[in-house]
Homo-oligomer: A and B are copies of this chain.
């Protein structure tokens, strides 16, 4: 019996958010809108230079699991924290919204991972991630029963950064397919795609992945083209359901048979784009689990993304199921 709609695997990361300006990014040669990995020394340096912080739980895959739960579906998350103060916060924040989390925290080694997220006045976020304990996610942390119990397993491209986590990722993928469940992958970030392009293409092409999430920058990076149409044409040739987000221009669901466009939801005040992609994925995956058609899955994604970018932090503060019902997307 499938007791979970969506199981997500990802880096367990606490977000340390600060408002900043473009000059701060420029002075440090930070690529606006992207994620860079930093070591402990650079983490200390950046923290000292940045403004006052707001701390909330984050991590792409975990944000998605929280979104799925907020839409009324059953989700769980697999990732690694340390048994420190921020690790306890992290586990609390998942359990508090009904997301399953059973991975034992690390008892030694580096502290719980943190991402210093600089939010510019235009609402864009630039992430600087110290992976800490999250890189110690191991294949043993993946419980085969839990994977078999989930309709969809959703994997972060970011997991390709910590070597052990990649093995955990592969293990979950294999078990899911053996159980006839679906596997979804997000490309995570254009620079992440740059680091692992060949491996990601192999996963997409050898049948490891059924649903692929990417924003348009990641898709262009995947196919090494500056042209959107070329990238979309290449995606159309893959044997996956491709879900492409394009910020305010809405989303496309691309299959061999058809390309469906869904507009973005109107946003009153854009505060912080952190979590937009994660929550789009949450809506789409919840829709898939509920057997909605692809366009309605994307509409649920657009609604969820719009909700999260109107406040600071990457997890929904509103009840997404209520919002989806008001929009007529859920009964």
**Which A residues are within 8 Å of any B CB, using their own CB?**
18-19, 47-48, 50-57, 66, 84-86, 89, 92-93, 96-97, 111, 311-313, 315, 317
Contact = CB atoms under 8 A, between A and B. Distances in A.
A56 B18 CA distance: 11
A97 to B, nearest CB: 6
Given A52-B66, A54-B313, A312-B312, 4 more contacts: A47-B92, A52-B93, A84-B85, A85-B85
With a 10 A CB-CB cut-off, give which of A19, A96, A311 has the most chain B CB atoms: A96
A310 B76 CA distance: 33
Of all A-B residue pairs in the complex, the 7 with the closest CB atoms, nearest first, are A55-B55, A52-B93, A51-B96, A52-B96, A54-B56, A85-B85, A52-B97
Contacts of A86: 85
A18 B317 CA distance: 10
Nearest to A97: B52
A275 to B, nearest CB: 13
A89 B55 contact: yes
Contacts of A52: 56-57, 66, 92-93, 96-97, 315
Contact of A92 (B53, B56, B92, B93): B53
Nearest to A16: B89
With a 10 A CB-CB cut-off, give which of A51, A52, A53, A111 has the most chain B CB atoms: A52
A286 to B, nearest CB: 18
A317 B48 contact: no
A47 B92 CA distance: 8
A119 to B, nearest CB: 10
Contacts of A111: 85
Nearest to A316: B52
A54 B54 CA distance: 7
Contacts of A92: 47-48, 52-53
Nearest to A99: B52
B84 A50 contact: no
A84 B317 CA distance: 28
